[in-house]
Chains A and B, each alone.
Chain A
């Protein structure tokens, strides 16, 4: 089955800790993304990667870091610098640019709660 796998589904973080959310895709997509969803708000882009070994900041990158060492994998680290990390995190991928008529496919999401 082709798709995007995020893990863990639920994660609790203590104040001051870094945590890493995993995202793996077997769709052979070049581009990958991380979005954050907060109640009553749309999805906001944290980071995106157009190709292996390259990534760009999205609209709310502060307090987050990513890597793209393999085409299939795009892990997101939520650092202690992120002041309000409790949210629903969504990983996504696409074949290419949206202007080409492509669409974006999402994983099931990961809930992160700071305790």
Chain B
């Protein structure tokens, strides 16, 4: 039962253009969302997060948008750079006793073309 879904397994974008990664979730109790970046054979690294009390969070070239009514969030990378080529995971957690648990999507592989 996958509660966090990344329906696009891959994305190819030209260097300098915008990358838009999408993530949908089914559990309305989720209230904290994170994006992670992962290179092959390495552990994921934290990129950016957003709380459900906000609809946007920005950090440099990375912006995350949250649409609670649609249970949808997206990550925008502007401008895309070759070093952004990696797998990006969306993750979510919820309030309560079990808020040590993160649910992850399957990931989107981004390839930035020169």
Are A and B co-members of a single complex?
Answer: yes
Chain A interface (Cβ within 8 Å of chain B)? Answer: 4, 6, 31, 33, 35, 40-45, 48, 50, 56, 58, 90, 92, 94, 97-99, 101, 103-109, 111
Residue B27 at the A interface, CB < 8 A? no
**Chain B positions 34 through 48: 1 when the CB is less than 8 Å from some CB of chain A, otherwise 0:** 101000011111100
Check A99/B32 contact, CB under 8 A, given A42-B89, A58-B101.
yes
The binding surface of chain A is classed by DSSP as: strand
In this complex, the member of A58, A94, A103 whose beta carbon has the largest number of chain B beta carbons within 10 angstroms is A103
What are 18 A-B contacts defined by CB distance under 8 Å?
A: A4-B43, A31-B100, A40-B9, A41-B106, A42-B2, A42-B89, A42-B103, A42-B105, A42-B107, A43-B44, A44-B104, A98-B99, A99-B93, A103-B34, A104-B34, A104-B102, A105-B46, A106-B44
Residue B51 at the A interface, CB < 8 A? yes
Check A109/B89 contact, CB under 8 A, given A40-B9, A99-B32.
no
In this complex, the member of B31, B44, B89, B93 whose beta carbon has the largest number of chain A beta carbons within 10 angstroms is B44
User: Do B43 and A98 have beta carbons less than 8 Å apart?
Assistant: no
Residue B26 at the A interface, CB < 8 A? no
When chains A and B are docked, how far (Å) is the Cα of A107 from the Cα of B45? Answer: 9
Chain B interface (Cβ within 8 Å of chain A)? Answer: 2, 4, 6, 9, 31-32, 34, 36, 41-46, 49, 51, 89, 91, 93-95, 99-107
Collect the chain A residues with CB atoms within 8 Å of residue B6's CB: 42
In this complex, the member of B31, B32, B51 whose beta carbon has the largest number of chain A beta carbons within 10 angstroms is B32
User: Do A108 and B99 have beta carbons less than 8 Å apart?
Assistant: no
Collect the chain A residues with CB atoms within 8 Å of residue B9's CB: 40
Collect the chain A residues with CB atoms within 8 Å of residue B4's CB: 42
Collect the chain B residues with CB atoms within 8 Å of residue A31's CB: 100
The residue on B at minimum CB distance from A49 is B100
B43: which of A97, A103, A108, A111 is its contact (CB, 8 Å)? A108
When chains A and B are docked, how far (Å) is the Cα of A98 from the Cα of B95? Answer: 8
Collect the chain A residues with CB atoms within 8 Å of residue B41's CB: 108-109, 111
When chains A and B are docked, how far (Å) is the Cα of A48 from the Cα of B101? Answer: 8
